[in-house]
Structure formats: structure tokens, C-alpha cells
Chain A
Amino acid sequence: MKAAPFNYHLAQDLAHAKELLHEFGDDVKIIAGGQSLVPMMAMRLAKPANLIDIARLPELQNIQITEDKVTIGAGVKQSALEKHLASQKAPLLQAVIPWIGHQQTRNRGTVGGSLAHADPSAELPLIALILKASIHCESKQDGSRKISAEDFFQGPMWTSLQANECLTQIDWPLWSGAFIGYDFEETAIRQGDFAMASAASQIQVDHDGKVLKWNCGVGGMGGTPYQFDQLTNQFLGQKLSKEKINEFSSQAIALTDPTSDLHASSSYRKHLAKALLSRTIEKSLLMAQSNTQPNR
């Protein structure tokens, strides 16, 4: 339970981090908070020869709020976001923060680190997918590029980040107007542990209660989080009844492919996720209908 030997490199700035990534090729990992990486190294599931520490890079600590998005530096700690005004602007993001690990891990763990680690049961990847976040990364050879959350998550602990790329910031789009509601639900053995299943929904309706905009999804149900745009789009312009929500949730969960483990069988996870998804939709809809004031 001790990490294998490695060389430690403290990046002086982002350019230095990119230079080091370039130099070490494939046998390198970036460390920020290390709340997933250090345990993986202790269990020797990860044995990188080189670690580049970006935790203290000031370039990665910024939080910016504009009209239509919140931009969060990859190195911002989850606990820092918990109290920040930016998370109030994106209330679904704020709602999940208490569910990310425990306070002791949120005090070290970063927003970018959680996305780059891409645990399929983690909260932030699900919210990034649902809010249609854009993930920025940079490398020495190819400069900077922006990846949609949908293209970013490829599989369990697998993203479209290249070995020489450093995740730098994340844009979280903000919804504007009235009648917006959101909800997040999760079941875990102990709060803060890996989700057995989780679900989130954000919805905007018109004054008649007809759906204008709706994103929802589930986590812990396969190799990546799932979002159900293709299904939600069919409900635009319609009112959602309890029966429709139930029917929708059944169809959505049929698309997922959870594994069985010690704690829950695949079929139990589907049963659970369906209940959580229905609940988030009902709660977000109820909130949307009562939120008559524009949120900004």
C-alpha cells in the first residue's frame, strides 16, 4: 500500500507544466489534489514514472462569471467552489458539491482533477455532461483546444485528453430566464462514497408549464455518465405528467449498461437509477413551475 518510486516535478507555471509533459511522453501523470491519484498509486493501480504537480499554479485558480457562463480554473478546489458566488450562478453545480467525497477530500480535490480522472460514478462529470460544459486543455505541440463534455468522456477513467495535454479550465454554461428548476439525487453506501447510482435534471418551462429546455442524465450506470438529449428533445413544447416522467425514465434507463458488484446487481442499479431519475425530474419540474422570477 505504498506508491512505487517516481520522480516529482513541481511545475513553476503552465508553460513549464506543458514543457514537462512534452518531455516525458507517455510515462507521466499530472497531480493536483491527488484525491483519486494518490490512492490509485498507493494500490499500485497507477505507477507513473513522473508526476507533475500543478496544484499551486496561479493560472489554474481563476473563477470568472460572465453573462452566459461560469469559467472555473482546473486547479480550483472543490471546497473553494462550495462557498463561491460562481456556484450560486450555476445552482446544479452547487447542489452536487456536498456529494463529492468528504470535506477532507474536497479540501484537496480539484474541479479539473475530478473531470480528468473521469470516474463514471463521480458527480462533476455527470453535471459537466448535463450542463454541456466545455473543457479547455493545452499542450506544447498543439496549443489549446476546447472539448465538449460529450466528447470528453470516453469510458471509465478514460477521456479524450492526450498524454501531453493539461486540462486548464472548464466553461459551465448558465441558463437565463424564469421557470428554471434543477435537482440532483444520489444513493451511496455512505454519503461521500462512490455513488451506486446518481441522477440530475435541469429544466426550463414556459408560463403554461410546457418544456422549453430540458437536460437530464445518470451516473454510475456504465463506463461514462449518460445524458438523454435524444429522449428529452421529444418532449419540448409538451407538459410533463407523472405518467410521462415514469415512461421517460424507463426508456432512459434501458439505454444504460451498469455492472454488478458486491453492493448492487445490474438490475438493482437500474431499478434504483430509474427511481432517482424520476424523482429529479419531478423535483426539478416542480421547482421550475414555482420559480417565476428570472434567475439573474
Chain B
Amino acid sequence: MKNIPIELSINGQKVSATVEARTSLVDFIRDTLRLTGTHVGCEHGICGACTILLNGDPVRSCCMFAVQANACEITTVEGLAPERGQLSKIQDAFCEKHGLQCGFCTPGMLITCQALINKNPHPSESEIREAISGNLCRCTGYQQIVDAVVYATKEA
């Protein structure tokens, strides 16, 4: 089993590495790149905690091997904030509206909500619920997460 060289971009930074073919993308992001903001939950595509943006689209990073992301552009939760120490609009809204308690689902929720806002700057409540339907949260009952997205996207 030979290791495979890959090159990709994470949060705007070029990264080159050699990976074992069986390494999942989320393990590569967390263990090799040490970007531990992305969480590993179920590891079989149910919970959505590992959601990242792959070439702008939300995907589950546990359901891909790192080799399949060769030459792709990836955004993780670490890439949402404009500057170190600051929060993006959606991150700030999660704080304001108590969109998290334990925080385990939060990276996946934030990425999924950001992907929604990128495509649809003023989503309705039902569009928000549809968008986060692939992400499990066991604390909030989802209402505060929906409130956070509404808050982040309301007209100024």
C-alpha cells in the first residue's frame, strides 16, 4: 500500500502532503493539518459534524478519502472568520442567539449555514430548516440555530 502525494488548498493556504489512501479527509484535516475545529462524529455520514466546503459546496469530510480531495479548495470552520480573534457574521449570530450549547455540532452547522447564505443571502425559516436537515444537534432543538441564521441574514 503506497502513500500518495496530494496538493490542495485549505482556507486559502496551499498544502502538500503524502497520505495513506485509506485516510479520510476529516482525519487528514484534524490529525495531519492539526485543524481540529472540524469535528468527527459518527464517521458514516449521518451527523454532519464534519461538514466542510469542498470547492464551495458543503460535503461530509468523513465520507471522502483525502486522496479524493487532491487539487481541491477546502474551507473549514477555521476559515470562516475574517481575522484571527474575530468572528464572522454567522459565528457572531450563533453567540448572540445561543445557537450552541455543547458545541459538538457547531463547526458543521456553521459551515452548512455559511454555504446556505453564500447561495441565498436572505433565506426563509423553512429554507434554513431544509439546509440544516443533514446536521444533527442534540442540545438546542434547532430553534436557536434557525434564529441565529435569521439574525445573521436580516436586512440591515
- Please classify the interface of chain A as helix (H, G, I), strand (E, B), loop, or mixed, using the class held by over half of its residues: loop
CA distance A207 to B76 in the complex (A): 56
Complex CA–CA separation, A10 to B5 (angstroms): 12
Q: Does A187 sit within 8 A of B, measured CB to CB?
A: no
Question: How far is the CB of A112 from the nearest CB of chain B, in Å?
Answer: 16
Alpha-carbon gap, A191 to B135, bound state (A): 11
Residues of A within 8 A of B133 (CB): 102, 190-192
Are B59 and A107 in touch, CB under 8 angstroms?
yes
Cα separation A103 to B44 with both chains bound (whole Å): 15
- Counting residue pairs across A and B whose Cβ atoms lie within 8 Å, the total is 89
Of A36-44, A153-161, A164-172, the stretch lying at the interface with chain B is: A36-44
Contact partner of A104 among B43, B65, B112, CB < 8 A? Answer: B112
Do residues B59 and A34 form an inter-chain contact, with CB atoms below 8 A? no
Q: Which residue of B lies closest to A193 (CB)?
A: B46
Q: B44 to A43, Cβ gap below 8 A?
A: yes
Question: Cα distance A102–B64 when bound, in Å?
Answer: 15
Q: Are A7 and B21 in contact (CB under 8 A)?
A: yes
Question: Could you tell me if B63 and A6 are in contact, using CB atoms closer than 8 angstroms?
Answer: no
- In the complex, what distance in Å separates the CA atom of A250 from the CA atom of B45? 35
Residue-wise, chain A 188-202 has the 8 Å CB interface mask toward B (1 for contact) of: 001111000000000
Closest to A191 in B: B133
How far apart sit A2 and B2, CA to CA, in the bound complex (Å)? 17
Q: A107 — which chain B residues lie within 8 A by C-beta? A: 54, 57-59
State in angstroms the CA–CA spacing of A209 and B81 once bound together: 59
- Provide the A42-59 mask, 1 if CB < 8 A to any CB of B, else 0: 110000000101010000
Interfacial chain B residues near A8, Cβ < 8 Å: 4, 21, 65, 67
A42–B4 alpha-carbon span in the complex (Å):
19
